[in-house]
Structures are given as structure tokens and as C-alpha cells.
Chains A and B, each alone.
Chain A
Amino acid sequence: MQAFVKHNGLVAPIDRANVDTDALIPKQFLKSIQRTGFGPNLFDEWRYLDQGQPGEDCSGRPLNKEFVLNQPRYQGTTILVARANFGCGSSREHAVWALEDFGIRAVIAPSFAEIFFNNCFKNGVLPIILSEDVVSQLIDDASNQEGYRLDVDLPEQCVITAQGERFAFEINGAHKHNMLNGLDDIDLTLQNKAAIHEYERAAAQRTPWLFSDIAG
């Protein structure tokens, strides 16, 4: 996974609460058995005027010119700012794969749905929680100022405006470590192999009916 340390990027406002994973990537694209290639179908139903199909070349499809990411001034967006409960709904990691493939590196919102939030950290996309008031300000600024950019500094845990205004955010230590280093956490977990076996031996004594394959 791509590491995340510092990032400066163009910001697009998604002025909605409860942006769900069906909106991020509609169900027909979940038929893919690949992990890549979802970017052209990010926000498919909002972005295009027709109904998209998996495997279809999107370059000739009619665009919804109203949709924020289709507007010329937001081309090259790498940071989204949206309202509360972003990523609610289905557990589909395809939603994060679509953001990542599109080029989004960070999403700022007052709150995120939990499964989506966890999925972000597996894919190098940084979910940043800032207060409702700050998010409202950022949505206004990204709407009103063309070419509005933000700096995200993960080591310092803050979002910085071009004027130097700083908004601090919280992140747990393990998430931060993995993002900074782009780590595959299966390797990290397997360093605890002995502890997992030990747990199984003990649990097989306590609840043997769950461990028919492991002698207690």
C-alpha cells in the first residue's frame, strides 16, 4: 500500500451528509474480481447521465456537468471534504479502491462510518475527522475559491490552509504507523504466531466444541 506522510492537494466539496458506499461505487461494479480499475466508476450515478456497466469504456459516456468532480476547476482533485457519516452502508472495500484509483488521498468529514473508516487505512487513503464548524468552513472555501488547496501533514496530525491556518486531528497510533510506512499488517500480525497458537490451545480447553480441528 502507498504510504501517506505529507500531501498537498486540490480540494473538492461533496456537500452532503451520509454519503453511502452505494453512491461511492454502485453494485454492478462489485462483480469485478480485481482490486484495481474502479476509479472511472467512482460516484458513477452522480457523475454520468447514463447507467454504467462493468468493463465499459467511460471516456465516451455523457457527463453530469453539475457534479462537482466533473467541473473543470476540480480536475485533479486529491482531497474530498464532505459532511457527517461519510462511507455509511455496505462494507465494500471497493468504495475505497475507487477513491484510491481515482487519485483521492484524503477525505475530510465530521464523522465516518466505521467499516469504511477501517478500510481506508488498508489502502493508503487518509480519513480525517474535523469538527462540523471547520468542515463547513472548508466546504465554503473549496466552493468559493477556485484552486483551493490544503496541506495534510500526518506526522504533525494537522490540516493546513494556504494562509497557514492549522486544524489538528486525532488518529490512533497503529493507524498512523501503518499509514506512514505503507505497511501490510498481515506480516505484522504473523509476528504473533506463537501467541495465536497459545490462545487456541487455551480456548480449545475452555470451549472444545469450537476447536474440533485442534486438540485441547
Chain B
Amino acid sequence: MAGKTLYDKIFDSHVVREADDGSVLLYIDRQLLHEVTSPQAFEGLRLSGRQPWRQVANLAVADHNVPTLNRAQGISDPVAKLQVETLTRNCAEFGITEFGMGDLRQGVVHVMGPEQGFTQPGMTIICGDSHTATHGAFGAIAFGVGTSEVEHALATQTLTQRKSKNMQIVIDGELGRGVTSKDIILAVIGQIGTAGGTGYAIEFAGSAIRGLSMEGRMTVCNMAIEAGARVGLVAVDEVTIDYLEGRPLSPSGEQWQQAVSHWRTLVSDPDAVFDEVITIAAADIEPQVTWGTSPEMVVSVNGRVPATADGDVVKTQSFQKALGYMGLEADTAITDISLDKVFIGSCTNGRIEDLRAAAEVAKGQKVSDRVKLALVVPGSGLVKEQAEQEGLDQIFIDAGFEWREPGCSMCLAMNADRLEPGERCASTSNRNFEGRQGQGGRTHLVSPAMAAGAAIAGHFVDVRNHQAGS
């Protein structure tokens, strides 16, 4: 019998019951909650007189709506304020731990969970947020769900699921200097497309993935959903175990040893069969910049905005719509695109390593006069504290960046941080959809180093040249 993939191992060990039609009742170990997708789920529990199945399996934090400025004054938008207060009220009523806005541990849900050790290998983890795949970096099955499933998991600790197919994406070799985990995942999406992973769980493997830190692996898994896959995951190794040791919610004492022995088994068997395998040479990946309104519309920084999609009529139509929305001419060199705003942060790139990479580029430089606003938004209060201990905040402030409080911020612009119509932004977030960062706003997705480089030059630059010269 062929071996099992990592995904199959975790999935199979969480099956409560299998139905005749092939769907299974899957046990959910942990649920993360935030203010936007949970109020209607709690309301559902209340209306049907149900209680959470396991209170300690849940952890909540407000992130999407929180202001990144003048936090002591509270939230000025009354609708957002009510939503954040509703989360606090619901957590109190149903006995669920919440990190409030004033808590140092508050942050973007997908930064906070791993940081606390709430995320552990071998778990099934859900959240009412599509970027839940982030937690797969720990060798867990983590996926985003809608509000009905948030309620379902609260009430039953299970979800009805069907097993996905297995895809392995192998990134072998060594990444070039200045090329990061963000460039890996953008290059993958560019190759397989935004629906390329639909129906699959993607395991990222290969020496370049093994060489990434946990932060880098989280960036890669985070955007599995932008390749269409609900689940992205990376096998457990020493990097995973080292990261987890001593975290507040990690197992301790005798249980730590027991957990570690179990975690070491969380790798795909050597003879496991994947339904699809894609191999990319790390050396071929260059810094990436999206030019359009879908993450698959991406080229290398030294490339040009394309005009057509190799004779594909429907795709060429979308290219043309995208160019119109983005206010770009075909054949423009990426490095000729100038920026109005820069955003560094989000669940994709708001971790300490991301801020270090951006600060390295920003150090001793000034944000271009052309750029109206360059924001740095740490992923959590703890990331912010760490960055301040390392003096990164001062590097950013000296260079003319704004240093903000943690939250989702301009990744989706639910709070006051947003683009105005027509404004163009270099952003380390995950989606460049129309209106994502504000109605009429134009988003280019890049790595933190590339975003910092763009802020300083006022247009995109190949950050490898900067690093070679510094």
C-alpha cells in the first residue's frame, strides 16, 4: 500500500464518522474568531439555545476593524465600534478567551495564533477567514470557512467535509539574494493561476521551503487560497519545533516531549502519491510584482505589463479590463510604475522577519516625495514590541514611514487606512482585487523589501540592486 501524504494523515486522524456519500464529519481541534465573521454565528447559537461544545478550543481577537492610530481614543466609526464590542460581549457570554484592543497580544488573527502557540502541528484549525491556510505552515490542516460553519464548529466541534486531492509544490535549490517567501508564492500563483489549486490541499516542499523560517513558511501557506486551495501546508521539522518551544499555549513538561515525538511523524511518507506535482527551481524566481486585479496577474520586477494571454480570449478580456482599472498601458516596464502609497503589514507579511527585511532597505534612506503615505503596520502587539526593541520603528520613522498599531489595516481597508480612487499602492498584502484597498484603489502586491524599495524610489525597483549596492 502506498504511503500517506501529510494532509491525508491529519485528515484521517480527525474523522469522527464517515457518511455513505464520501463526506466525513471532521473533528476541529481549534477555532480562531474575529469580529467580522462571528457575530451572526453567536447570534445563531443564542437563537437556538446552544452553547459552545468546547470553550477552550476557541480564541478570539478583533483585527479587521481596529484603528491603527490613536487607539486610546477608541473606535470613532460607530458601526465598526459596535461590531468590535459585540465580539467582546459574545466572548464574555459564551466563555471564550478574547485578547482585547488594549492587550499586548492583540493582532491579526493569523499572526497572533501561531505566536501564542495556539497553532500546533497535526491540528485541524478553522477561522472565518480565508487566510487561515497560514497555520498550515506548522504541519496542520487549517482552512477558512463561512459564518455558518463558524457556528457549526462552535456548536459541535466538527464540520462536514470532503477530502481534498493532494498537490505537492516542490521549490528546490537556493533562493537568490533579495528573493523571499512572498516571491515564491506569487511565482507559484503566476504559474498555476488563481484556480489552479481548487479542490486540492497543497503541500509546499523542497529545499527552498525547508530553508525558510516559520515566518516565511506562513507567508507561503497564507496565499495558498490565492492559488485556489483552501489548505496549504508544510511538513514538521526542527524549525517548526524550535519555534513552538516555550510559547504560552505550547505543551510543556512531559507533554512537550510526548507532543514532539508525535509531531516528528507529521511528514508525507516517502512513497506517498500526490495527484499533482509541480516543481519550480528556486533559482528561477525573481522578485515579483502584480500588475493587475488578480494575484495571478504577476510578473518579475524586470518584466513588462503584458497585453494578451497567449491566445486565450476570455483571459485576454480580463487582462484588458484589469489594465483599464489599473490605469496601465500594456508593455509598460514594471520599474516605470510610480506609487502614491505603500503598505507594509497584514497576515501575509506583518511578522518580525518582514519588518526586518523592509527596515534593512529603508535604513538611512528617505521615502520619496512622490509617495503620500508609507505605512508600517505590525501584525501584532508582540511583533510591534519586538520591532521596537530592535530599533526598527526608529529606522522607519527616520525614513518617513508611519509606525502604527497592529491590525489588518490597509490590506482590506475596513478601518480608516485606505486608498482613494485612482491611488496606486505597493502593498505586502495578499489581494489586488478591484476596490480591495479602497474603492478605485490600485494595488500591486510585493514582498516587504520590494515595498520598502518602492517607497524610497517612488516607483518599483529591483531590490537586489539596492542590496548589491549597500
A→B interface (CB under 8 Å) = 16-18, 20, 22-23, 26-28, 30-35, 45, 51, 54-55, 83-85, 88-93, 96, 111, 113-115, 118-119, 122-123, 172-174, 185-186, 189-190, 192, 195-196, 199-200, 203, 206-210, 212-214
Contact = CB atoms under 8 A, between A and B. Distances in A.
B251 to A, nearest CB: 4
Contact of A55 (B53, B79, B132, B148): B79
A207 B255 CA distance: 9
B147 A93 contact: yes
A88 B256 CA distance: 39
B83 A118 contact: no
Nearest to A31: B79
10 contacts: A18-B318, A20-B294, A32-B83, A45-B435, A91-B128, A91-B130, A91-B144, A93-B146, A192-B17, A208-B255
Contact of B40 (A16, A34, A111): A34
B148 A203 contact: no
Nearest to A84: B195
B230 A92 contact: no
Contact of B83 (A22, A33, A200): A33
A123 to B, nearest CB: 7
Given A186-B156, A190-B155, 18 more contacts: A17-B315, A20-B431, A22-B436, A33-B83, A45-B435, A55-B79, A90-B130, A91-B129, A114-B228, A115-B145, A115-B225, A172-B21, A172-B162, A195-B25, A199-B16, A207-B259, A209-B258, A213-B55
Interface in B420-455: 431, 433-436, 439
A5 B270 CA distance: 47
Given A27-B412, A85-B198, A203-B27, A54 B262 contact: no
B288 interface: no
A195 B16 contact: yes
B240 interface: no
Contacts of B299: none
B144 A115 contact: yes
A169 B21 CA distance: 17
Contacts of A33: 39-40, 43, 82-83, 86
Nearest to A114: B230
Contact of B23 (A85, A96, A174, A203): A174
Contacts of A115: 130, 143-146, 225, 230
Interface string B54-84: 1110000000110000000000010110110
A207 B251 CA distance: 11
B413 interface: yes
A214 B55 CA distance: 11
Nearest to B128: A91
Given A30-B414, A172-B21, A208-B258, A192 B16 contact: yes
Interface of B: 13, 16-17, 19-23, 25, 27, 29, 36-37, 39-40, 43, 48, 50, 53-56, 64-65, 77, 79-80, 82-83, 86, 120, 122-123, 128-130, 132, 143-149, 151-152, 155-158, 160, 162, 194-195, 198-199, 225, 228, 230, 251, 255-256, 258-259, 262, 294, 314-315, 318, 321, 412-414, 431, 433-436, 439
Contacts of B13: 203, 206
Contacts of A30: 36-37, 64, 414
Contacts of B82: 31, 33
Contacts of B413: 27
A111 B195 contact: yes
A174 B160 CA distance: 9
Contacts of A93: 37, 40, 128, 146-148
Given A186-B156, A207-B122, A210-B29, A92 B198 contact: no
Given A45-B435, A210-B123, A31 B27 contact: no
B148 A122 contact: yes
B89 to A, nearest CB: 10
Contact of A210 (B120, B435, B436): B120
A89 B120 contact: no
A198 to B, nearest CB: 8
A209 B255 contact: yes
A196 B152 CA distance: 13
A31 B39 CA distance: 10
Nearest to A199: B16
B80 A31 contact: yes
Contacts of A195: 16-17, 25
A132 to B, nearest CB: 8
Given A89-B431, A199-B16, A118 B25 contact: no
Nearest to B150: A93
Nearest to A136: B314
Contacts of A119: 146, 148
Contacts of A122: 146, 148-149
A214 B294 CA distance: 45
A209 B198 contact: no
A18 to B, nearest CB: 5
Given A93-B146, A118-B149, A17 B314 contact: yes
- Sorted nearest first, the 4 A-B pairs with minimum C-beta distance are A93-B146, A122-B148, A209-B251, A173-B21
Contacts of A96: 146
A23 B318 CA distance: 15
Given A92-B146, A122-B149, A186-B152, A85 B27 contact: no
Nearest to A1: B148
Contacts of A31: 36, 65, 77, 79-80, 82-83, 414
A95 B27 CA distance: 27
Given A31-B79, A90-B130, A209-B255, A118 B146 contact: yes
Contact of B156 (A26, A51, A196, A212): A196
A199 B17 CA distance: 9
B67 to A, nearest CB: 13
Contacts of B36: 30-31, 92
A26 B439 contact: yes
A123 B40 CA distance: 13
A85 B194 contact: yes
